Amino acid sequence: MQLNICHLYPDILNLYGDRGNIITMKRRLEARGIKVNIEECSIGQPLDVDKYDIFFIGGGQDFEQEVLLRDLASGKGRDICTAVEDEKVFLAICGGYQMLGQYYKTWDGNQLDFIGAINIHTIGAKERMIGNYMYRTTPESGGTIVVGFENHSGKTYLGEDVAPLGMVLKGYGNNGEDQTEGARYKNVFATYSHGSLLPKNPALADFILHTALAHKYDGAEPLTPLDDTLENRAHDYMEERLRHG
Ligand code: GLN
């Protein structure tokens, strides 16, 4: 078995070590004897969506998101929409999450029209939502507690056909108003959680990897458990801190 991962815009959307999610996916797959091929695709490079099973998009600031608009409009945005509808797996973080949506209106009134691969939109607020936070994914996304770090000005609102990835237990999540966090549409997993999302949330990592395997290989077996002592210690420490802090 082999999974092909495409890292979209690695040189532009690369805040807070979001790339660590790719390292985690690779390590967890290889530990199960599954081959991994990672390729990067950035501005000006053609994207052959059929080649890949998982797409990863990291976070970026408003300026960096704006820089991508022309490249997305040249056809890549349409290709990404096709891949989403074909139920390819996407993991999108913060600015990458917003980019999959309809539009992002920055707090100072600049509207960035994005690709509309998922029916969400984002409105910037002057006060940023920053800090460690925690949410429980919905049963459809594994039903586990995710600990993370968020830093965004954008408040994201989900359309009717898009489910949240989870519900906020501590922190802001999508908008600080409706308790939703992230988005789940087909096999898109989108979240505001930066940096060590998958390293310290191994259950979510395996849920996403299993989704990709099951999509590619009909009836993929459940993944064999790994020794996640250290990962779980990091997770549980943050969970405790957030519960009682
Ligand atoms: N520019 C977006 C916002 O502030 C995304 C930021 C990010 O990716 N951290 O909402």
Distance 36 CA to ligand 1 centre (A): 29
The residues spanned by each domain of the chain are 2-244
Tens digit of each residue's pLDDT (9 = 90 or more) over 159-177: 999 999 999 999 999 999 9
**62 Cβ inside 6 Å of ligand 1:** yes
Query: Pocket of ligand 1, candidates 57, 61, 67: which has the most ligand atoms within 8 Å of its Cβ, to mutate?
Result: 61
pLDDT of 245: 77
The verdict on the CB of residue 12 being under 6 Å from ligand 1 is no
| Alpha helices (runs of H) in 11-133, residue ranges in sequence order | 20-30, 62-67, 69-71, 77-85, 95-100
Rounded to two decimals, the pTM is 0.97
| Nearest-angstrom CA–CA distance, 96 and 1 | 28
Q: Which residues of the chain have pLDDT under 50?
A: none
CB 98 within 8 A of CB 132: no
State which fold the 2-244 domain adopts.
Rossmann fold (3.40.50)
101 lines ligand 1 (CB under 6 A): no
Distance 182 CA to ligand 1 centre (A): 13
Contacts of 156 (CB under 8 A, 6+ apart): 97, 98, 101, 120, 121, 122, 174, 175, 183, 192
Measured in Å, residue 104 CA sits from the centre of ligand 1 at: 10
- Whose CA is closest to 133, among 86, 38, 197? 197
Q: Is 6 a catalytic residue?
A: no
pLDDT per residue over 170-207, tens digit each? 999 999 999 999 999 999 999 999 988 999 999 999 99
* Predicted local confidence at residue 16, as pLDDT: 85
Is 41 among the residues known to form the active site?
no
